[in-house]
């Protein structure tokens, strides 16, 4: 890691919120890029399985990656995490030449609550005046704040006593239009943390709006498996990378 990045990360750690950690391929060639948003129910950002390992795998396949630690716990209420992801995207756009990245091939990779965050940026990029992401990769994502939601994610992002209007407005599946990015989405059928119905709801809206997508529901797979090594989900990352680079 270069000295400038180390200084930047040290400064960000002071307020314990926004940190964007780079994993850059050191060959001075232009590469596609990805921002990774690990899960954690908006009460933490768990990058041990869903951050660094994903970034390093992307590097091995020719993709420059950035792991985002976004607002969580007291700062997780909407739009705190969205502001952080928008800031990260803006940083990539502004520094694309220096960091040797092709932002026209920017993909957002979100896991669990991070999947909710990336899913919202599939439509909120317009509100932030950002370029449309080339692709989304949503891994066992939280999609709805309705009856099939993940309670911690709901609690920290909109509150357990959110109004009906807030629940509808913050559920990703209610915002899918023909302008939504193409999406790779998967979950496991044994996920007892985030109900697989979340992914089903998302896929139904992608289908209805004629959005290009790939969906896998892997047999016997639970929540939080990251790359899924040793499970029926193993190999999903290769499929997702191919989808994003197409």
Q: Are strands 101-111 and 31-37 parallel, antiparallel or unpaired?
A: parallel
Give the confidence band of 5 by pLDDT, cuts at 50, 70, 90. Answer: very low
The strand order across the sheet containing 64-69 reads 19-23, 64-69, 31-37, 101-111, 135-139, 182-188, 213-218
Residue 66: asked if its preceding bond is cis (omega within 30°), the reply is: no
Q: Is the pLDDT of residue 8 over 80?
A: no
**Average pLDDT for 35-51:** 96
State the pLDDT at residue 17.
73
Q: Is the pLDDT of residue 95 over 50?
A: yes
State the pLDDT at residue 126.
96
pTM, to two decimals: 0.93
DSSP alpha helix (H) spans, the chain: 3-12, 47-50, 52-60, 80-94, 96-99, 113-124, 151-157, 164-170, 197-208, 236-245
pLDDT cut 90: percent of the chain above it? 92
Q: Is the pLDDT of residue 212 over 80?
A: yes
Nearest to 54 by CA among 191, 243, 237: 237
State the pLDDT at residue 115.
98
Q: Is the pLDDT of residue 100 over 50?
A: yes
């Amino acid at each position: 890691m270069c000295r400038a990045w180390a200084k930047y990360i040290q400064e960000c750690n002071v307020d314990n919120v926004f940190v964007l950690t780079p994993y850059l391929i050191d060959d001075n060639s232009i590469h596609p890029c990805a921002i990774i948003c690990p899960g954690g129910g908006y009460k933490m950002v768990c990058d041990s399985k869903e951050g660094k390992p994903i970034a390093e795998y992307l590097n091995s396949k020719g993709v420059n990656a950035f792991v985002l630690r976004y607002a969580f716990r007291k700062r997780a209420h909407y739009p705190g995490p969205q502001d952080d992801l928008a800031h990260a995207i803006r940083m990539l756009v502004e520094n694309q030449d220096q960091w040797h990245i092709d932002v026209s091939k920017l993909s957002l990779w979100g896991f669990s609550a991070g999947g909710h965050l990336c899913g919202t940026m599939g439509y909120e990029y317009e509100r932030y005046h950002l370029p449309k992401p080339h692709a989304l990769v949503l891994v066992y994502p939280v999609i709805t704040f309705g009856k099939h939601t993940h309670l911690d994610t709901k609690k920290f992002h909109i509150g357990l006593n959110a109004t009906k209007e807030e629940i509808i407005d913050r559920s990703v599946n209610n915002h899918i239009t023909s302008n939504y990015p193409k999406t790779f989405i998967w979950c496991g059928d044994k996920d007892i943390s985030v109900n697989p119905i979340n992914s089903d709801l998302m896929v139904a809206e992608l289908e209805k709006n004629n959005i290009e997508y790939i969906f896998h529901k892997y047999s016997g797979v639970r929540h939080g498996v990251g790359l899924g090594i040793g499970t029926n989900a193993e190999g999903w990352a290769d499929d997702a990378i191919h989808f994003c680079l197409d």
